[in-house]
Structures are given as structure tokens and as C-alpha cells.
Structure 1
Amino acid sequence: MVNLFETFPAFLLVFVRVTSFFLMMPLFSYRTVSTTFKVGFGFFLALIMFFNIKAPALEMDGVYYLLILKEALIGILLGFMAYLVMSAIQIAGGFIDFQMGFGMVNVMDPQTGAQSPLMGQYLNIISLFFLLMVNGHHLMIDGIYYSYQFIPLEQAWLPLGSEHLLQYILKSFSTMFMIALQMSLPVVGSLFLVDVALGITARTFPQLNIFVVGVPLKIGVSFLILMIVMGTMMISVSNLFKLMLTTMRGIMNLLGGL
């Protein structure tokens, strides 16, 4: 029979890592997801994980409290990397908003409580639906489950000062910007051509008030291009999901010293 007093310290470490991951993880970290659900779901998920991993026997001494901090840091870092990669969608929307003339218009995101670009919020909602449709949230939960194969509970240190870890984070950050540029490039490039055409028109017909004509024209062209390239954008979003999972795996490899 399993002794609860012997297994509770290891279970608590699993619970800390899972709930810390939910603090930053896309979708589960949003305000509209109640705290009661997060804690309850994290508890039962940690319970399932605990009975499927080889949990060591631990004692609640001074080293144990350092292990709790280590587990919280792992969960927050993994969730932050997933959230960082998904932020490419918001950045792409910001690029599009700037060219459309919506650069001064921000909306309050009820999920995060922060201001976000108008088109970035629109693309983010579509991408979240796409993430749920392809069961991407299941893959993220799989990531935190398999993290124990890379970073065991008894590992007392994390190589946070490693040069390879910092380079990997910077590389993921630059890749996220590249994907954001790929997503926004069709609309931004089309609007650049519209700006060039409006500039030529303004020089050809000085009596025409180009500012009155240009703003609605750019907005109309933007929505037309968005409808045409939305399928291509979703391909970039699927690549973004792959990058998110690859980044999480790479971070786990580096934190585990593999």
C-alpha cells in the first residue's frame, strides 16, 4: 500500500510544475478561465502524471524548498516560451494595423487584460480556434507531461546561465518575428503598393484630396487581401504551432542538461 506521507512531497512538486505552467500557457492562462478550474484541473492532471512517472522519495528539508522553486521556474519558463511564440500572431496584427491606419486603435483584450492591436486580436481569436481544432492544447499538455523525462524531479539545479540556453531563446525570439513578418507580408506589401499608387495620384491630380480617399481605400484593400490570403496565414499559424512545440522540447533538453 502506498504511504501518502512518503509520496506527498513528490506529488507537491508535480503539482507546482503543472500549475506554474498554466500561469503562462496560451489559452489556459487567460482571465476568462476561472482560477478554480485551473487549480482543479492542475490537481487532477498532476495526480495522473504522478502515478505515471517514477517519483523519488523526498523529504521536506531545506533542499526540498529549493526544489519547489525549481519546479515553479520550469513551469513558468515552459509556459512563457509557448506564449512567446504565440505572440507572433499579435505582432503580425500590429504590422497590419500600422499599414491600414489602425495604428492608434487598440482594444482591450478581455483574456489578458492588456491592450492589443485590432487585427492582432482578430487573428489571435481565429488562431485559438484553429489551435483547439487541431488539438494543439493536448500537445502542450503532453509537453509538460514528457518534461519529466528531460528534467527529473530530483534534479536540484538548472543551467540558466548556459550560453546555449540564451542563444536558443534568442533564436526562438527571432524566428517568432520572422513568422510574424511572413503572416503580415501579403497585406503589408499590398498596402505599400497602394501607398505608391496614391502618391503617384496625388502628384498627378493635386486638386484631389488624397487623404480623404486613401484611408477608406486602404482599409477596403486590406480586408480584401485578408479574405484572399487567410488560408495561407493559417499555414503560417500551423508552422507556428510546430515551432512552439519544438521550442518547448529544446528548452527542456537544455534545462535537463541533455
Structure 2
Amino acid sequence: MLELSNGQIGGWISSFLLPLFRISSLLMVMPIFGTQLVPTRVRLYLALAITVVIVPTLPPMPEVDALNLRSLLLIAQEVLIGAMFGFMLQLFFHVYTVIGQILSIQMGIGFAAMVDPANGISVPVLGQLLTMLTTLLFLAMNGHLVVFEVITESFVTLPVGSGMLVGHYWELVGKLSWVLGAGLLISLPVVTALLVVNLAFGVMTRAAPQLNIFSVGFPLTLTFGLVVVWIGMADTLNQYQNLSSVALAMLRDLAQAR
């Protein structure tokens, strides 16, 4: 009969299960892998595979008892760290959702929504298009590999049991307004162009009150907005590179990685 002591079980927890909780919580929250399109079982298998690969390269883990309050606190800490990394990436992807919301409202197609299969909510079609484009660029440029590199380095920069730097995290939380700011900045050319069109229609209505501006203005605003968005797609790659650099830099700051 196999007998295991508390020390052996605690060693397994500290050497394997604690990194597993940090990695699995990241995969459960981060975009692409943490969506409803990826089954939970697949995410768990992926977390196990990543943990098995990186455990031999990690620094020594603190020894804890299997049934101890300290082990529960360490598990909660690891889950919180991984969830915060995933939340940071979610903010980066939601920048384009905000852009889609702003442009849809300005173009008058805010009612044109569809169910997002990844999150299970209704989003504007334009926002869904931008989100799909961001996902493809993120995978094509190996952004997921950078995330796995950062989470691996975090075990060195933020060792298990070292405590969380709450002040450092709150400082980063204060910088999260860049999400809305970035969305407004990218959508500013289209919003400005549509504002000029609406001002022109306002002048036309003032000059000729008998003109039914709603029947003429709506299709023209919609068509002009789509044309401006199509023209702005030419600079999507540069905008994505700038935003992704900022997002990954903030992720490294969160992990205190190099």
C-alpha cells in the first residue's frame, strides 16, 4: 500500500500544483484561449502541458503542508496573479470593441448587432469585425508565445510565496484608462469625417427645411462611414503594432519581467 506523508504531498503542491494554478487561471481569463470557443477541458490540458514543460526550469518553490491555511492562501494568490495577467490582455482586445461601438453609433448602425460566439453577448458587427482582425494579427505575430514567455518569467520575478506588490498593481490599474483613450484616438479620423458630414446636412436642413434630410442623410452617412473605415484599414497594422507594444509592455510591468 502506497503511503504518502504530508511533506511529500506538500512538495508536490509547491512544485507542480502552484504553478499550475497560475497558468490555468491565465488561460481561463485571457482572450482567444479563455473564450467559450475553447472547451474548458482543452484549456486544462493545455495548462497541464505548459506546466509540465516549465516546472523543471522554475526556481525552488516554498514548502507547504497539504492541508494548511498557508497553502490555500498561496493558491488564491497564484489564481489572482494569473487572472490579472489575463485581464490585462482582455483590456487590449476590448480596445477594438470600443472602437467598433463608437464607429457604429456615429455611422448610425449601432442597431446592427450580432451574437459574439466567444463571449456570448451581442456586439456591433463592426466591432466584431475588428475583434476578429485583432485575433488573427495576435496569433500571426506570436503574441500568445510572448504571453507564455512573460508568465514563465513571472515565476522568477514574482516568486511563489513572495507576496503581492499591491501598490505596484494599483499603479498599473490607474493606467488602464488607455483603453478608452486608445479607442477614441484610433476612431478620431472617422468620427471627425462623419461630424463634418453631419454638419453639412445640418446646413442643408437649415437652408432648405422642406428637404427630407433623414431619407437622404442616413444612407449617405452610412456609405461615407464605410468608405472611411475601408480607407482607414490600410493603417490597421501600424495601429495594432503600437497598441500591442503598449499592452505587452504593461503586461511585463505587471510581472516585473525584463
Aligned to 1:177: 180
Deviation at 1:231, TM superposition (A): 2.3
Question: How many percent identity over aligned positions?
Answer: 28
Aligned to 1:19: 24
Instruction: Provide the C-alpha distance between the structure 2 equivalents of 1:226 and 1:133, rounded to a whole number of angstroms.
Output: 23
CA deviations 1:142-191 (Å, max 9, x no partner) are: 12111112111232x2233x2x43232121x2212221112211211111
Query: 1:77 and 2:80 equivalent?
Result: no
DSSP-derived class of the 1:244 partner? helix
Instruction: Provide the C-alpha distance between the structure 2 equivalents of 1:138 and 1:207, rounded to a whole number of angstroms.
Output: 61
Code of the aligned partner of 2:46: F
RMSD: 2.0
**Maintained 8 Å contact 2:32/2:135:** yes
Instruction: Provide the C-alpha distance between the structure 1 equivalents of 2:89 and 2:133, rounded to a whole number of angstroms.
Output: 17
**Maintained 8 Å contact 1:21/1:79:** yes
* Structure 1: gaps (5+ residues): none
**Within-5 A mapping of 1:204-223:** 204-223=207-226
**Within-5 A mapping of 1:111-130:** 111-130=118-137
**Maintained 8 Å contact 1:86/1:240:** no
Aligned to 2:3: none
Of 166, 171, 177 in structure 1, the residue corresponding to residue 170 of structure 2 is: 166
Q: How many positions carry a matched residue from both structures? A: 249
Instruction: Provide the C-alpha distance between the structure 2 equivalents of 1:35 and 1:23, rounded to a whole number of angstroms.
Output: 8
**Within-5 A mapping of 1:59-70:** 59=64, 60=66, 61-70=68-77
CA deviations 1:27-62 (Å, max 9, x no partner) are: 111101111210101101011111111232523232
Aligned to 2:56: 51
Tell me the TM-score normalized by structure 2: 0.90
* Structure 2: gaps (5+ residues): 1-6
Code of the aligned partner of 2:23: V
Tell me the TM-score normalized by structure 1: 0.90
